[in-house]
Structure 1
Amino acid sequence: MNTSSARRTGLPALALGTVVVLAGCSSTGTSGSAPPGASAEPGARLAVSYGGGVRVLDGASLRSVSDFASEEFTRLNPAGDDRHVLVTTSRGFQVLDTGAGTTTTGALTDRVFAADTPGHVVRHAGRTVLYADGTSDTTVFDPAALAASDALPQSRTIEGTQAHHGVSVVLEDGTFLTTVGDADGRTGITVQDPSGRTVATSDRCPGVHGEGTARGEAVVLGCEDGALLYRDGEITKLDAPGDYARMGNAYVSETSPVVVGDHKDDPDAEGYLLDQITLIDTDRRTLEVVDLPEGVEYTFRGVARGPGDLAYVLGTDGAVHELDPRDGTVRRSMPVVAPWEGPAEWQDPHPAIVVSGSTAYVTEPATRSVHALDLTTGERTATGTLDVVPNEVAVASGPAA
């Protein structure tokens, strides 16, 4: 496999149109055999992982379209082009063609972006950014090129310095932001301009994890005592109340200045259920923690942004709660699944939510089901019953009509 790399101390401009090295030699894999009841209508597709495989569902009927063998536990990440999904495996990021927007049943291809311990996938400004925890290397490519060839698209790998569980972001003008850490912990971020010159750094973010880019390319990363905000060349530390206030995931809309984050205030708490939400206004540079209604808890898989820049929280009470990020109020609650308990380990199957357009897709591992919820009417429009236990989920919306 041919690769291109650059040290951060002399990083060329990251405009992908200038990259000339082909980062991969691979051919398209064959389609999996479609299970009984398979259909191949054009439109959205849903990728659902389970122990040992990935199932692709029709986004309207939730009937199975195709099924592919994979590793026992994989993660699913939209690739950024509304058709492909990146499946994390022991080799790296494997390209799944869901067939969204076509009449094909899709394919789990043999195209893999090699990575030592593949981690976060970030989509922004027409680029997809892959982070390898085992090396801290960052790979950047244009997701629109995934359908253009049977080989991997052109990409650039930016070599890391010290391996850690991190994340990188590339902004519209090529500005490169990446986390700083090592085997002993994570401390902050560094920002470089397109020439590779360091323009900002911060070491005031213990346990830095998770990122999101809001309106105006305001980038937020969570810390164990608040968050970091990078905007217009400046890093601002936003302190959260209390000695411990971990935000590990950011849920964003690129048309909203408000970032919704999870919030954990007890480092010794067992399990993964949370009952508070972090709201970060990137225009005002403020951070607020708000309580959810009594009896409503969620996990990191239970928050998504949707129509009108609203947030949707999948609670343990079985309802999807529509939350206004401007003030943290719950506007309405829409029952979808039966009440559920939190997972013993974060990898364990438990309900998850993703949104495409005005439709929310909710998994229900206890009944081996996936549900479609119309966020306009609050009504459940379809249910797909599987013969496997759904775990992670990603949606490919297909091309816009």
Structure 2
Amino acid sequence: MSSALTDLFPHPIVQAPMAGGVSVPQLAAAVSEAGGLGFLAAGYKTADGMYQEIKQLRGLTGRPFGVNLFMPQPEYPGAGTGSTGAAGAALPSAAAVEVYANQLAGEAAWYETELGDPDSGRDDGYDAKLAVLLDNPVAVVSFHFGVPSQDVLDSLRRAGTLTLVTATTAEEALAVQRAGAAAVIVQGIEAGGHQGTHRDNPETDGTGVGLLSLVAQVRETVQIPIVAAGGIMRGSQIAAVLAAGANAAQLGTAFLATPESGANAVHKEALTNPLFVRTELTRAFSGRPARGLANRFMREHGPYAPAAYPEIHHLTSPLRKAAAKAGDAQGMALWAGQGHRMARDLPAGQLVDVLNAEIAAAKTALSATDEIPEEGAAR
């Protein structure tokens, strides 16, 4: 790992940026103060909203932290015509979104709200946010849903910012390296929230690779540092991904349950509620594959949601907010990784300390195993 990244990861724990109000400054500050790398999620915020959170976080800690950006989504060829792409996969169209909106009419009536405008924007204020981050550099900027241009990565590097980009396959990781990012976030299929695939292809839904196998594949493909993400809840799992070739581990669901997290109380409680026995990947809430606790909304609407991000995200936003206000977990997007039942209600700083102790214990146990002589060997 480069010396700059080593300085950021004296303990290999990165708090995942969780959009939607979870990764608040208080959470990022607590993680960074404990020696990990805290993250703010700029997704779904305005550029000024992001800047205000950065200012607030700087008032809480002098330690390094990161900011995550969503890549702008491309206009779909043939959108509105129901055409197909090069691979033959059906492309989202205005008609498909309208059909889904009609299906959600009953939800809107139930929650006494209106559906959102699906045409509320595709770029998430990307250029404006980049301008803020170039004028007011932070230690790390990460990217989700694609690879930034080399010019963007070079500009951030000149500003003193390290860049990380999410990849879900070895091929995507290679593209990240070729673009010039400092490191790659390798996201396994176990991860909660949105899969950071570079190109959304409905034909590949649910076909992702488990984290340990993916880290090993990527380690044999690229030379840049790897941050492993997906279902990690214990220090022993962090030790495992480090042994597989990662340089650090990114945890989201593990920090979602902390008191500093901005997650809705219903969401936090659902992580260990026996009513929610599994997670699933779904397009129901956003139009892009995302893993969450399986609930009524997923079951009733997931099979019919078109591959249309961010249109479906905008469309369902008022529904999700109304369900959260009503305390109705069955209508919320309860993003969570596969390890959600292992969530611990600990302060974020204490959780970092516990995870570091677990990493040390796992490494000690591994070293002890290595020292046991093989059967029949000289003693």
- Normalising by structure 2, report the TM-score: 0.30
* Greater fraction strand: 1
TM-score by length of 1: 0.29
Would you tell me which structure has more helix in proportion to its own residues? 2
Higher relative contact order (Cα pairs below 8 Å, separated by 6+ residues): 2
